[in-house]
Amino acid sequence: MNASGVLGATPEHIVKLASYGLAAVVTKTFTEKPREGYGPPIILKLRNGGYINAVGLANPGMGSLPQVVRKSKELGLVTIVSVGGSSLDEFVKVSAVAVDAGADMIELNLGCPHTRGYGLDIGSDPTNVYEVVKAVSSLSDVPVIAKLGFSDNYLKSSGKALEGGAKALTLINTVKAMVIDVYSAKPILSNVFGGMSGPPIHPIAVRVVYDVYREYKPEIIGVGGVTDWVSAAELILAGAGALQVGSVLAAKPKEVVNSILEGLREWVSELGYERIRDLVGLAHKR
């Protein structure tokens, strides 16, 4: 599936995502009210192959959610709605709209590192994670996924999310970082800090997935620097049963998705297995 933040804010975005050959789509993170986000520059391609961005959770607000979900369902896609909030009440309100709209799953954005009062500000506190997940899980039978970022408390936050009723964890979000222009001596992004994505964060994602799987054996959606079948396979071996791709969709997304899937099929066959599921967490048994 795509990582939240890569398109997914309008029905037109969903049509484009569907053309990539994904098994499921994740919407942009929706909040109660529309958010314009930060002014430019908001994204920068790094010399090491990754990106750093500070969009500021820009989205049209939960009033636009039903149209987005409707289009996804029309296309026969598993639809995961990403929900953001700066309070428990906001998470519940937006999630209720997602449920009413027909979302197959809800992914709680508890890991965004560059928007004050949202994301990582909440997800790095295990108590907050528990309260948000428990409140949203109690709304309906729609499965709740907790998306967590990299923090000192990621292991405890993962445990509290599961305790609160999360059926799966998405690990990880972008990693807080910054870039400075050496001539102006000023940070390049308008928000100063941003979230780093792409290949530079992949080893961190592998480590977090490995740690959390070893501790709790939960269902995990691995995300962070997946660019080819090898990086995808690493996350599977660490404990991820599903994958999200983000930065790599910036260029030739359909070809990239097909290449990853073909590579994984050949890898599973070469190792003598029939299903990817048989390889989830295999690194813990060696």
Residue 2 belongs to some domain of the structure: no
- Domain of 137: which CATH number? 3.20.20.70
> What is the predicted pLDDT for the residue at 125?
87
Token reading at 256: 């990239």
CA distance 139 to 116: 26
Pairwise CA distance, residues 188 & 55, whole Å: 13
Active site residue 112: yes
Q: How crowded is residue 265: how many other Cβ atoms within 10 Å of its Cβ? A: 12
| pLDDT tens digits for range 7-24 | 888 999 999 999 999 999
Q: Give the Cα separation of 154 and 23 in Å (integer).
A: 27
- Per residue in 113-160, pLDDT (tens digit) is 555 566 666 778 899 899 999 999 999 999 999 999 888 899 999 999
Torsion of CA 151, 212, 143, 26, to 10 degrees: 60
* DSSP state string for 174-201: -EEEE-EETTTTEESSTTSEEEEESGGG
* Residue 223 domain-assigned (yes or no): yes
**pTM reported for the whole predicted model:** 0.94
Per the CB < 8 A criterion, the answer to whether 119 and 157 are in contact is no
pLDDT per residue of the chain (286 residues) written in tens, 0 to 9: 999 987 888 999 999 999 999 999 999 999 999 998 888 888 889 988 889 988 888 899 999 999 999 999 999 999 999 999 988 999 999 999 999 999 999 999 997 655 556 666 677 889 989 999 999 999 999 999 999 988 889 999 999 999 999 999 999 998 999 999 999 999 999 889 888 999 999 999 999 999 999 999 999 999 999 999 999 999 999 999 999 999 899 889 999 999 999 999 999 999 999 999 999 999 998 7
Identify whether 217 is part of a domain. yes
pLDDT at residue 15, rounded to an integer: 93
What pLDDT, on the 0 to 100 scale, is given for residue 9?
87
Q: In angstroms, rounded to a whole number, what is the distance separating the alpha carbons of residues 108 and 149?
A: 11
Give domain status of residue 161, yes or no. yes
Residue 1 in any domain: the answer is no
For the chain, the first-to-last Cα distance in angstroms comes to 28
Residue 3 lies in a domain: no
Asked if the structure places residue 240 within a domain, the reply is: yes
The string of DSSP letters for 124-175 reads: TSHHHHHHHHHHHHTT-SS-EEEEE--STTHHHHHHHHHHTT-SEEEE---E
Asked whether residue 63 is assigned to any structural domain, the reply reads yes
Q: For tokens 């941003």, name the residue.
A: 194
Hey, what are 186's tokens? 């000023």
Nearest-angstrom CA–CA distance, 155 and 201:
18
Query: Which helix (DSSP H) or strand (DSSP E) does residue 213 occupy?
Result: helix 202-216
Catalytic residue among 14, 77, 83, 112: 112
How many folded domains does the chain comprise?
A: 1
Domain carrying residue 87 = 11-281
